[in-house]
Chain A
Amino acid sequence: MKIDGTVVRGDHFSGNIAEIRKFAVMSLSWLTVIFVAVWGVCWALGIFIPMCLANSSFDFAAILSEVCKALTPIAAVLVFIPINAMFMVLMERRALALFTRRNGPNRVGPDGALQTAADAVKLLLKEDITPTGADALMFTLAPIIFFAPSIFGALPLLAAVTNNHKLFQIVDLPTGIFYVLAASSVPVVGIVMGGWASNNKYSLMGGLRSAAQAISYEIPLVLSLVTICLLAGTLDVVSIAYQQSGGLLNWNILGGGALIGLNKAIAALVSSSGAPFAEVMNAYYPYGWLSFVGAAVLCMCTVILFGVYLIGACAEINRIPFDLPEAESELVSGYNTEYSGIKFAIFFLAEFTNLFIVSTIAVVMFLGSGDCPLPTWLNPLSYPAVYEPLAKALSPVLSVLINDLHLINPPTFWAALWVIFKTYSLIFFAILVRGTLPRFRIDQLMDFGWKRLIPITLVIFVLVAFARGVINFHV
């Protein structure tokens, strides 16, 4: 059916394919730009400059190269966060346009790819207004306190998502996830400060709502991650990520390691070498059917925990359906009603960075970090017969880059690729939710948090504590 040249239903599907293609091209090119830029900076600062300095006879060469190496992770985060937020805003707008059959921003740059860059410039040039009667100091501090934790909270995750690359091991933090969670609970102080200092009743209400919401939803969020830590036996994000390597069955979302035994047993069956199937199974599941029940319970629990984590994270970063602190139809814009110019830009930047960080935490804690979802025994590249000829064919081209310049580090490269894929899939899911659901009411939000999520996570915590007793995890 066609009315005056407008494409309507019927032609709908073919009409959208073109838009989907544009969206995919835009996303891929932006992602390439981001990660080439970030890795370029890291490589130049952490590898190339020290490499040049090593040959020089300059007095402070050694110290300078150490300083450069130490600054690398910070530079990575500082380069990454603004560009990434720009891309995420654009991606969100284009994706929402896709869901609602609009075109989205498509004027600035090729297919609107530079739209958010233009928006950022516009925001920076706007007048910075402090309302009459506002507490100027608090009003200025609020966006900074809101934004800063997303920078320092992200640092321990860097090593976990890059397969423990030596450049990104800033500090050996045995309580990594604890530190990340502590950092991620600071921004709410910024919101309350901003709401209170604005001298606006709507802002005040938004700030107070945010405090109530953050306190309620941090509990299920932390409980779900603590249960995973209980299964992993460690708080260190790098070792949690490392434990999950070896394919989908080892990931924390499927039993938190309960299926490692199954994975190994099938691998033994497929390779027909090493220990026989039954023997491996017995080593991991020593109590017969009781162990299998335990494994099934663990799988169910961890899947539910993942859901709880996603809900808690959505509430923690104030996204629909939990965007009560900035409920547009009720509170105008909530805590940031009075903000303009650069301060508003920082709030905006931090919101999207927080979304990225909670997605990354989900990937590290539940989705196997930089691990390929195919189990090793199913992955063709893990067999020497496939891998070796490929490596031989590519070695003349790549050996310079890998061995001489250290420009490509294969383990880190693959890990980063998978992390990018998984993280942005979760972000896309959050956008999908935003395009579907209405908003909760504040008392329903509290009910849902305290009466549903917290009891569920507590019950699961106890269940997991018992169920893990009947399985051997890491033999």
Chain B
Amino acid sequence: MTIQTKLPEFKTDEMVINLGPQHPATHGVLRLILTLDGEVVKHTEPVLGHLHRAQEWQGQNRTWFQYQALIDRVDYLSGMFTSWALSRAAEVIDGTEVPRRAEFLRVLCAELNRISSHLLWLGTYLIDLGALYGFPFYPFIEREKILTFFEEISGQRMMYNYIRIGGVQRDPKAEWFKKVEEFTKDFPKRVDEWEAIVTENPIFLNRTKGIGVLTKEVAQAYGVTGPTLRASGIDFDLRRFKPYSVYPELKFDVPVYNKDGDTWDRYMARIQEMRQSIEIIKQVLDMIPEGEIMSKKQNAGLRIKAGEGFAAVESPRGILGCYITSNGSDKPYRFRWRNPSFSNLSVLPPLLEERPISDIMAIFGSLDIILPDVDR
């Protein structure tokens, strides 16, 4: 009698699955071609370009004045920063002096915008982790207030077109500053509340601690910037490293995490950044001087001197740079954008390797990608 000691060969196949572009959790139209072994990801191939709108080409075919209004769409969650990068690049070429009050207003609006962008990220990140119904709405309540502020000064809730070449569009009234001040007093308490629900939640810790570890070396190699980079332990913030506008006069910390660079660190980096932004806003409200807000005429005759220039700002997602060549006509000659989301997204395939399918969204969400910002 023989006893079969060896099991028969058990053959498994890999499965190729399309995640997106019509998937409820890809934050837009990203397509990932995944090769799965069971539930484990073996290979990831991001497919870009579903939202390509030729923003750079459009810039070359529109006047300066028209393009200013269009550029908010590149990163629709932080429109202030795209307009700011464009304005700064143009001002560098032109040599325009921006009025001091306008610089303070720019910092104020940009920091408010940074908070609103992180708030939307916070809500949607919890949705990515499966807390679909409760928590995600709380950050949106606060974001609503910030959008109301923006609506009052620019007439828009998303595409502000507020920061213009040479200054800012409109001078807010005194009551507006009062409302913002009240908001800054109230907001840190709300952050404490959210942290009480989320930060130490065992399920949240299980889903984020030690997941998607992005080491310093990998982050540098891929050109990752913003909170994602700082969560990996590299102290690099343009506001500090290469200060622009009135940032040298303001006191604030740049939260850096030196430990793991996992998704939980990226979450904490953004939470701390919101707190620091509030500190900046408080100082700006104290220091803001009276005076002019615009040094260039805003009409179809807007011209920039011939020359080349590059300027970058620290957007909520990282370094947002704008390179312009001007020939002195009413249209820019060449345009090039450096978008943080693109380089941050490129780090996704190494992070997803050998992770289960449930971690895809936990890791992808923690990078805070805006798809129009990737594809332009």
Contacts and interface: CB of A to CB of B under 8 A. Distances in A.
Interface in A305-341: 320-321, 323-324, 327-332
Given A201-B15, A438-B203, A441-B206, A1 B182 contact: yes
A439 B358 CA distance: 10
Given A101-B141, A201-B17, A328 B25 contact: yes
Nearest to A320: B130
B76 interface: no
Interface string B55-95: 00000000000000000000000000000000000000000
Contact of A439 (B24, B134, B203): B203
A3 B24 contact: no
Contacts of A82: none
A406 interface: no
**Chain A interface bracket (under 10, 10 to 19, 20 to 34, 35 or more):** 35 or more
Interface stretch (A4-12, A188-196, A296-304, A360-368): A4-12
A329 B127 CA distance: 7
B7 to A, nearest CB: 21
A437 B206 CA distance: 12
Contacts of B338: none
Contacts of B360: 330
Contacts of B127: 329
A430 B102 CA distance: 52
B203 A321 contact: yes
B335 interface: no
Given A101-B141, A328-B132, A438 B201 contact: yes
Contact of A321 (B126, B130, B141): B130
A242 interface: no
A438 B126 contact: yes
Contacts of A327: 130, 358
Contacts of A321: 130, 203
Interface in A434-467: 434-444
B355 to A, nearest CB: 10
B129 to A, nearest CB: 4
Main secondary structure of the interface of A (DSSP, over half): loop
B156 interface: no
B133 A438 contact: no
A130 to B, nearest CB: 20
A321 B203 CA distance: 9
Contact of A96 (B25, B133, B207): B133
A99 interface: yes
A329 B129 contact: yes
Contacts of B273: none
B186 interface: yes
A183 to B, nearest CB: 29
A4 B204 CA distance: 35
Interface of B: 15, 17, 23-25, 39, 126-138, 141, 144-145, 148, 179, 182, 186, 190, 197, 201, 203-204, 206-207, 356-361
26 contacts: A1-B182, A3-B145, A4-B148, A96-B134, A99-B133, A100-B136, A100-B137, A102-B137, A201-B17, A323-B130, A327-B358, A328-B132, A329-B129, A330-B360, A331-B357, A435-B133, A435-B134, A435-B135, A437-B203, A438-B129, A438-B207, A439-B130, A440-B207, A441-B356, A441-B359, A442-B356
